[in-house]
Amino acid sequence: MFKTHRKKLLVTLAMVGCVAVSVAAYTPDVKEQPRKRNLKVLPENISKDSLHDVMEGFNDALGVKCNFCHAPRKDDATKLDFGSDDKPEKDIARSMMRMTADINGKYFNFNSSTRPDTIRAVSCMTCHKGNAHINDVAK
How many other β-carbons are positioned within 10 Å of the β-carbon of residue 41? 12
Residue (12 or 111) nearer to ligand HEC, CB: 111
Among 9, 19, 24, 39, binds ligand HEC (CB under 6 A): 39
CB atoms within 10 A of CB 127: 14
The CB-of-115 to ligand HEC minimum distance in angstroms stands at 17
Residue 79 touching ligand HEC (CB under 6 A)? no
132 is a contact residue toward ligand HEC (CB under 6 A): yes
Cβ pair 132, 88 in contact under 8 A: no
CB atoms within 10 A of CB 16: 9
Does 68 bind ligand HEC (CB under 6 A)? Our answer is yes
